[in-house]
């Protein structure tokens, strides 16, 4: 009997995990000792190196916006086929439309508030894999309890504040050990950060891959590219994806070569908590912390540009268009209000001229209220003779009980003609 009870308890727990949203894998496993290589099945070209454990069904959108889907995996090698070419502009437009509706509902999409954005707004930063570090900087890929990624996060936070006045809250909570349950532990941090009502939530990491996979240059100095990661088991995937493409689209134009692509892993990465939650891989363990910072202080300007239409150089074209639309809407409402005020003033002046005194105006208004308006309402609401009440769908009663038709010229109870 005891064995049966134990078996039933374990089975119930497993079923609960399977049907519960928290039963989904919050973060896919990582192999910190060996990276995975994804190869284009048709050309044999390597399209991605990453420490994320790759499974069939995972996807990758490369810098040229070609979407690949993994079809098979053998060991640490995966093969993928190109399935489509993504239109990032369409996805970005969908994001902006949804975001503007949300801002309008919150009362933010007004000319004055848009002109002040992002003053008073907030984004949040945390680090699920707390030990991640850069070998050229720290001499090791892992530093406990806070790796180099926290330092890059702090630089990002300060850059946002100094450049555009956007406040960022960064959690220094540690979620060690670096294992498959790290995302469950960091979920508590993410939930706490969301209580501050941020406009976006970012989980900052560094990948594990060969140096050349992420290497780039910034003003002639070494830099480390950024990869955006999405959880494809996430119910918010479409919204997060649109946000990711809006950021990639802006960054590709303003900081070409800085975005390595977008990887879709078999997990949620806690992105089910917000429609604007993303994971950024800031270089690999082979890049230096300084290289990651050089790219991130530029790339991170995509965030206020996408969310608020603001850059350190001033408003973006999209941001200025939104402000112009809000101003035009505000102007239209002001015109309607002034028309109403002018009509009321004109009516008051007309009554004063005709009645020649304020007492006369008041008497005329009383007559309008008690006679003309009462006459109109009385004609519409006069009860029918016979005391019958019609129900929906019944025809007007005929015969003696019906109200006699009124002849043209007949007066109503007030004596005024209709």
Q: Cα(184)–Cα(219) distance, rounded to whole angstroms?
A: 39
Beta bridge partners of 101: none
* Among candidate residues 72, 86, 84, the one with its CA nearest the CA of residue 39: 72
Say if residue 356's pLDDT is above 60: yes
Find all residues with CB under 8 Å of 348, minimum gap 6, and list them.
361
Give the whole-angstrom CA distance, residue 178 versus residue 205. 12
Measured distance CA(176)–CA(373) in Å, rounded: 76
pLDDT tens track for 261-297: 999 999 999 999 999 999 999 999 999 999 999 999 9
pTM for the whole structure: 0.73
End-to-end CA distance of the chain: 90
What average pLDDT does this structure show over 80-85?
Answer: 98
3-class state of residue 310 by DSSP: strand
- For 391, the 3-state DSSP assignment is coil
CATH H-level superfamily of 48-315: Zn-dependent exopeptidases (3.40.630.40)
Residue 399: pLDDT band by 50, 70, 90 thresholds? very low
- Of 213-227, 275-289, 330-344, 377-391, which range is least confident? 377-391
């Amino acid at each position: 009997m005891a064995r049966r009870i134990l078996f039933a308890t374990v089975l119930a727990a497993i079923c609960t995990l399977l049907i519960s949203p928290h039963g989904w894998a919050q973060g896919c496993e990582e192999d910190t000792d060996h990276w995975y290589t994804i190869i284009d099945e048709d050309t044999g070209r390597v399209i991605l190196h990453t420490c994320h454990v790759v499974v069939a069904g995972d996807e990758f959108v490369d810098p040229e916006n070609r979407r690949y889907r993994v079809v098979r995996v053998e060991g640490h090698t995966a093969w993928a086929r190109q399935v489509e070419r993504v239109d990032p502009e369409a996805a970005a437009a969908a994001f902006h439309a949804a975001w503007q509706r949300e801002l309008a509902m919150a009362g933010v999409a007004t000319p004055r508030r848009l002109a002040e954005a992002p003053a008073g707004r907030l984004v949040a930063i945390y680090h699920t894999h707390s030990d991640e570090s850069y070998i050229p900087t720290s001499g090791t890929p892992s530093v406990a309890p806070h790796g180099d990624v926290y330092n890059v996060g702090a630089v990002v936070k300060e850059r946002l504040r100094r450049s555009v006045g956007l406040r960022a809250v960064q959690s220094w909570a540690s979620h060690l050990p670096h294992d498959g349950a790290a995302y469950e532990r960091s979920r508590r941090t993410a939930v706490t950060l969301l209580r501050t009502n941020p406009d976006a939530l970012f989980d900052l990491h560094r990948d594990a891959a060969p140096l050349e996979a992420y290497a780039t240059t910034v003003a002639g100095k070494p830099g480390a590219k950024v990869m955006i990661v999405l959880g494809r088991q996430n119910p918010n995937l479409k919204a997060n994806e649109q946000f990711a493409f809006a950021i990639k689209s802006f960054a590709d134009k303003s900081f070409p070569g800085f975005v390595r692509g977008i990887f879709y892993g078999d997990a949620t990465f806690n992105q089910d908590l917000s429609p604007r939650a993303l994971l950024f891989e800031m270089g690999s363990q082979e890049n230096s912390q300084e290289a990651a910072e050089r790219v991130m202080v530029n790339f991170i300007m995509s965030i206020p540009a996408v969310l608020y239409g603001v850059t350190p150089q001033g408003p973006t074209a999209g941001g200025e268009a939104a402000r112009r639309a809000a101003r035009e809407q505000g102007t239209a409402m002001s015109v309607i209000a002034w028309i109403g005020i002018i009509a009321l003033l004109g009516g008051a002046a007309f009554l004063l001229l005709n009645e020649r005194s304020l007492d006369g105006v008041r008497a005329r208004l009383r007559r309008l209220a008690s006679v003309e308006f009462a006459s109109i309402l009385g004609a519409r609401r006069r009860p029918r003779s016979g005391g019958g009440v019609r129900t929906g769908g019944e025809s007007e009663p005929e015969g003696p009980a019906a109200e006699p038709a009124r002849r043209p010229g007949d007066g109503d109870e007030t004596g005024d003609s209709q």
